[in-house]
Structures are given as structure tokens and as C-alpha cells.
Structure 1
């Protein structure tokens, strides 16, 4: 179990000042990315503290929040290595066989078929889908097995600052943490990032994401659909054969027009949007909404500090790469920290953190800006944009190198 109370004092000795706790690594944010990093770096034997404002009861049993997370084969491998994948019920892991993209009311589809292999291994699926609350539960359970990980739950962070010697975190309850390395994993709206003086590119799309599950009479064939309709975007993420997660993005000022519908009227609306593709439909969950804001930090590190997860990059959901990039950031940083700790080197040296930034930025920057460019085009309803949208789908479908490149991104 993770250390707490008197057990934490035994595992994490500190100076006589009971309000100052000395650690090797402090992580702010116990979301999946923060906990994944904690679990990945635990093998080093470093003393790790994770600070989280939510109570431990919420971390142990997170509520359903409507979000289904698309995972690549690489993410599966990382989660297996972190003892997370094994902690998700196999019936809650859904295979995503292939994916299709349609534009407007056109019947033409850009198709990414079921691959024969991924990451050098035979496979029968493009990727996987796991509900966000199940990933959060698995990540929390995984860190419970590490005695050198301490969770401070139910407490917020007042402020942070760093110098050449250490990072300091002042908690709202008066306690103070000193650490060799500070890691911010506190969402795309990270206050820690701001306090560290790291600027970020933040793009507010002026849209709201509405997520919910629908049952339907026609099989989804375990295929994902991205429907760039005029006025809204509708993504279909297949769970069970007759159960699909629906992700609607719509101009925020129009969101209430859907949210106020009765369950029957909402089902009829989605049926009409899909032109009966999935047959008759019924609402199978609660509705959840999220503001659509993309974020990319201008740097992924500062003095004795680093950003992981959404604090580094918060993606538009259209490419389904948000948590995949979060896992990747935790994996890269943990590898470098573990190597330094094994050699007795500084785990927060400027050269180590710069290497982390180079490796992670190489993937995130083109993907982030490319995604935002694509979204701007495919939500532009001017006549020339509609023609260009259709042309891009056809060109992408008929140029094998482009399809192969996109498929490799989807599989990881």
C-alpha cells in the first residue's frame, strides 16, 4: 500500500521541522499521466510524493465521466509494463478494428482498415478503447503496490518555485515539500505550469464536447466513424457490438439545443445524423460536457521541473491521441530519471530535462499543429473549404504512403 501517516514518516524521513517534507520527486496531479509516471519511476527506489486535491476515495473508485480513451498498441505495452493493463477487466477493454471518416452528407469514406501487424507483431485490431474512469482506477491500484510512493490526497497546492538546489511546493494546509525534481501533471489548464513561468499555446475552439453512450439495433462492426457533418462533428467509438460511445462537438452557443433534448429526442437526432446507419437507438448513459481547448506548452521543462500529460500537451480529441501522448511523456521522462538514478547522477539536471523535451517535442509539435489545422479546415463550411475537404479525403484514400503514415500514428 502507499505510505500515509506514521508509515509515511518511517518510509520518508525528514528534518525536525514537521511541516517540511524532503522527497526526491514530487508530482502534482494524480490523474492517469501523473500516476503512470510515479509507477514508472518507482523502480528507481526514489522517494516519490504525489499531491492531489481530490480525496483518495475518488481516486480509488472514480465515477464514470463519459470519456472513452482510444489507445495505441504502444500505449498498451506501456500500460502492461506499469501493471495497469492487467488491472482493467477484460470485458471493459474494447477492440477498435478499423476507422472511417466521412465528410458532410457524402457517402464517400476515408478508410483505415484493420492492420495485419502493429509494432512488429501480428494483430487483429487498429487499437483499443477503455473508459477513462477504468484507466484512472487501474493507475491508482498500480501505485498502491509501491511502498516508495506516497499520496497526499485532499489537499491543494498554494504555490511552487525552484532554484538550482531544489523545487519547493507549498501546500494549502501549510506543509512544505522540498524535492530534487518537480513534475506537473495537473491538467491542460495547469496552474503549476504557469507558476513555473512556462508559456503555452492555447487554442479555444469555441466548441463544446458532449459525450454519451447509445445502444442500437444494427452492429457497429467494431468500426470507428468520424463524421464531419455541417454544423457539428460526430465521432462514434465502438464498445460492445451494439453499444457505441457518441462524441458530439458543437458550437458552444448551440450546445444547449442538444442538452435540453429528452433521451428519446436525442436518440432520434443521432439516428437522423447517421441516416439510420446503426438502426434504432436509445440513450444508455448520462451526458457529460467538456470545453474544447487545445494546449501545447512552449517548453516541457524549467529549472528542476518538467511537464507530463495534459500539462505538456492537451490535444483536440479528433485524432484520439491525448492520453497516448500523456503515457509517452511519462514513459520518456521516467526512463531518463531511472537511468540517472541508477548512475547516481542528478535526476533533474538541465541536460536530462532538455533531452526529455527534445524526445517528446519531436512527436507532439507536428501532431498538435497538424491536428488543429485539420480541424479548422473540416469545420469550415465555406463552399471552397467543403470542396477541399472532400478532395483531401479522396487523395488520402488513394495514396498508400499517406494512409500508411496515418495508420502508423493510429497504431502507435
Structure 2
């Protein structure tokens, strides 16, 4: 713990906020709201103007929020703002096959009824969560929002961190948090390098209306070029995340809507009846990127700024929200003990808590993608038999369900219910 004299000096320093958060997407605002519970002030800086973020139309992005993430949002009083637009995920079905040939007879079936806590998670569109976070920040006096501005420089010293914005404004805080995505400028300015690789895959994302109800069932259909996830949204609507090779995805993306649906239908199947496109289509290149360190002098990285992974298990945002809950708990406890919330030993507790977990998750998604995104007959036989065997092991199956719900490992307090 810092000595009392130094702590008094730190507390007497003039800061614009305790925490300066770069990135106003989802993780940054959630951290600001979590920190406010402990009386810590935050300034959240985002490059986009607030009206652009608030009024965003559906852009294909929807998240499979694990139960632990829903608990976090509920504890921060965000969930009640979005619950009516969320779709519970009651079952997950995982299968393997080829386009137009249907799935293999061996598949995995996870049912939320096998655990006591309720639905494994909920599907929620990005635009609803983003809007709720903006509104909640406005209602929280500990939070200041700066929109339509970018950071051009950052510098840390023994007592504070200072950032300079493109507008010329200078802000001083105790802790700087990078929540600015996979190409994090915050990490780059701190000299933090990244490890990772591309998958030569692109995700095709869209919303699909269908004739029959989905009954809250999420589907993951593995095909040789990449997986197709069919994720339930409210009503007879599902979000698709369809991974293809870069070349094929570029060709499909250039098709007209009608032609796109013609190539999607044999992959999607007819189990939901007739289908049609709802809204625009989007593409996102897929890669793996992990910061070599989650911390630096008076700096911590969260979310995609710390780790970006394949969407194959839908855990990207959930991992980011676990970062948020862990960092909020670490700095809250440090503040209550009178420690400097950005001291190296304090931030090291956050890194120790999160780095191994996220690296393990990233490697698991990477291995799963490599195992299933191929047409090797021996691997196909092995994985189909493996899925069939796992389906007859209730205890192991429940373990997978609890993992998907985010209920395993050392959960931060905000995620414990």
C-alpha cells in the first residue's frame, strides 16, 4: 500500500476526473457507471458525436449476453432499460455439415433447464444497449461525456495522467483506461505491442425474418469455410453471423439482396420456414489480437483494446464486460483502502485476474475455429463422434452450459447476482 504521505499528495492533486476513459462504445461507459458506484468520477471520450451513437439504426450487430453479463447490467440498473428488447436464449444447438447437405446426425444440444439459474443469456442488439448506456451516463453526476473528439497525446507521471485532445483541450486524471477497440490508440501511445493473426475469414452479418418461431434457440452450424451462427432476436427474427473465406465473403457481399439470399438459403436451411432479409448487410474481417500487456504506467486496457477474438463462441463482449467488472472491483477496493487507484501494484491485480482467462478463451476460440473450419475427413469424423459422445455426458454438458452462461471461474462481485 502507498504510504499515507504520498496518498495525501495524490488526493490533493487537482484532477478533472479520477478516471479518463478513451472509447464511448459499450465497455467504456459500463466501466464509468461501475466506478460511479464507489464515488469515482470518470470522463468518457468518444470520437463519434453523441447523436450518431444514440440514433444508430440496426447495423447487424447483436450480442449474446451471457447470464453473468446480464447480472452486471442489472446491478448497474441498465438491464431494465433494455430488457423489453432482449430475447432469452433457452437452447443452443451445435452441428457440423456442408452447405446444402444439412447437418451431421451428431450434434450438441444445450438446454438452459439443465442449470438452476435461468436462461444462459439473452440476445440484444447493439443499438439498444448503446442508447441505454448513454442515457444512464447522462443521469450520473460522476460521469462527464466528451463526444466528437479524439486523443492525440497522453503522458503519465508519478501523480497523474494527462491527455491532449484534437480540440486542444487538456484533461488530467488519476487513471487512463483504453476502451478504444482492437486498433487501440491508447495502447499504441503507451508502447504496448500486440500478438495475433488474421483468419482469412470475413463475417457476413445481417438480420433475417422467418416464417416460423425460433423458440429462443440459437444455432451454430459449422461448415468447412467457417461457421454460420443463427441467433434469436425478439419476434420471428434472427441475427446471422456467417463466416466465410475473405474471397468468398467479398463475392457474396457484392451480390444483390435477392442473389445473396439465394446463396444463404441452402446454408440456412428450411427449419424456420421461408426467410427474407431484414435491413442492410454488413461485413467484418476476423482476426485474433491480444495486447502483450493489459497495463502500463497509470493505464489499463479493457475489451477489444486488450483482446479481440473470433466470434465463434459469441464471447467477445462478455469477456470485455468481465474486464469491466474486474477492474471496477480492483479500483474500488483500492480506493476504499486509501491506495492510489492507478499504482502499479493495484493495476497488476487487474492484469493477474484477467490476462490468463482471456488468453485461454482466445486460444479456445482459435482452436475451435481451426478444428471445424476445414473439410478433413478424419477431423470431421473425430469431431462428429466427439459431439455425439459429449451429448450423452450430462455432467460435462452442464459444465459447458455454465461456461457459456459465464458462471465459471473467479467472478467479480458485480457478476455474482
Q: TM-score over 0.5 for the alignment?
A: yes
Deviation at 1:284, TM superposition (A): 1.3
Equivalent residue pairs, number = 390
Which of 195, 213, 235 matches 2:207? 213
Whether 2:398 is the aligned partner of 1:382: answer: no
Which of 78, 91, 101 matches 1:98? 91
- Structure 2 residue matching 1:287: 3-state secondary structure: strand
Whether 2:313 is the aligned partner of 1:319: answer: yes
Give the direction of change, closer, same or farther, for the CA distance of 1:221–1:148 in structure 2 (3 Å limit). Answer: closer
- Counterparts of 1:72-83 in structure 2, within 5 Å, are 72-83=66-77
Report what 1:24 is aligned to.
Answer: 18
Which string of whole-angstrom CA distances, capped at 9 and with x for unpartnered residues, describes residues 180-214 of structure 1?
Answer: 10000000221111221222222211111111111
Give the direction of change, closer, same or farther, for the CA distance of 1:134–1:410 in structure 2 (3 Å limit). Answer: same
Report what 2:52 is aligned to.
Answer: 58
Report what 1:10 is aligned to.
Answer: none
Deviation at 1:178, TM superposition (A): 2.0
Deviation at 1:356, TM superposition (A): 0.8
Does the Cα contact within 8 Å between 1:208 and 1:291 map onto a contact in 2?
yes
Report what 1:108 is aligned to.
Answer: 106
- Counterparts of 1:250-269 in structure 2, within 5 Å, are 250-269=244-263
Report what 1:344 is aligned to.
Answer: 338
Whether 2:138 is the aligned partner of 1:140: answer: no
Structure 2 unmatched ranges of 5 or more = 1-11, 98-102, 407-417
Give the direction of change, closer, same or farther, for the CA distance of 1:403–1:257 in structure 2 (3 Å limit). Answer: same
Deviation at 1:62, TM superposition (A): 2.8
Provide the C-alpha distance between the structure 2 equivalents of 1:409 and 1:382, rounded to a whole number of angstroms. Answer: 28
Deviation at 1:89, TM superposition (A): 5.2
Does the Cα contact within 8 Å between 2:202 and 2:285 map onto a contact in 1?
yes
Deviation at 1:306, TM superposition (A): 0.3
- Counterparts of 1:150-299 in structure 2, within 5 Å, are 150-299=144-293
Which string of whole-angstrom CA distances, capped at 9 and with x for unpartnered residues, describes residues 15-38 of structure 1?
Answer: 7xxxxx743210000111000000
Does the Cα contact within 8 Å between 1:222 and 1:241 map onto a contact in 2?
no
- Structure 1 residue matching 2:219: 3-state secondary structure: strand
Does the Cα contact within 8 Å between 2:32 and 2:143 map onto a contact in 1?
yes
Give the direction of change, closer, same or farther, for the CA distance of 1:14–1:165 in structure 2 (3 Å limit). Answer: closer
Deviation at 1:303, TM superposition (A): 1.2
- Structure 2 residue matching 1:79: 3-state secondary structure: helix
- RMSD after superposition: 1.9
341-350 vs 283-292, greater mean Cα deviation: 341-350
Give the direction of change, closer, same or farther, for the CA distance of 1:399–1:69 in structure 2 (3 Å limit). Answer: same
Which string of whole-angstrom CA distances, capped at 9 and with x for unpartnered residues, describes residues 193-249 of structure 1?
Answer: 122122222221111111111112233222111111233421100113521111111
Deviation at 1:395, TM superposition (A): 3.3
Structure 1 unmatched ranges of 5 or more = 1-12, 16-20
Deviation at 1:14, TM superposition (A): 9.7
242-251 vs 194-203, greater mean Cα deviation: 194-203
Deviation at 1:323, TM superposition (A): 1.0
Provide the C-alpha distance between the structure 1 equivalents of 2:249 and 2:381, rounded to a whole number of angstroms. Answer: 27
Deviation at 1:116, TM superposition (A): 4.4
Does the Cα contact within 8 Å between 1:97 and 1:114 map onto a contact in 2?
yes
80-89 vs 317-326, greater mean Cα deviation: 80-89
Does the Cα contact within 8 Å between 2:225 and 2:374 map onto a contact in 1?
no
